[in-house]
Amino acid sequence: QVQFVESGGGLVQAGGSLRLSCAASGIMFSFANMGWYRQAPTKQRELVAGITSDGSTNYADSVKGRFTISRGNAKNMVYLQMNSLKPEDTAIYYCNGKTVRFTPWGQGTQVTVSA
């Protein structure tokens, strides 16, 4: 059974940092390209960072230079280090496959950045 459990969100002031974690199960994780997504109120879910099975990364322009995605294949974990946070980063953050999106999605973790 596919399951994603995201954690690490919270309330932070602008300029602060957070590290998100995602535990994945039910997929062939070491072969999966993974991604972090976010959805802000009234907006569509968007991909903010991706990492391939061999560790290559890519980022949305809005987070490039501030966010870093990484993975730990031994524990089926994906991480998102977020630095220099801005109020516009406020959203619910989810992890899922990047090339293939699995169902169901996890509950996500709320990130709120105050000005």
The pLDDT value given to residue 14: 98
Print pLDDT tens along the chain (115 aa).
999 999 999 999 999 999 999 999 999 999 999 999 999 999 999 999 999 999 999 999 999 999 999 999 999 999 999 999 999 999 999 999 998 899 999 999 999 999 9
Structure tokens at 111: 């990130």
Residue found under tokens 């946070």: 85
The pLDDT value given to residue 80: 98
Is the torsion defined by CA of 49, 100, 43, 22 positive or negative?
A: negative
Instruction: Order across the sheet with 46-51: list the strands.
Output: 10-13, 109-114, 91-97, 34-39, 46-51, 57-59
- Is residue 25 within 8 Å of 3, Cβ to Cβ? yes
Provide the 3-class DSSP secondary structure of residue 75: helix
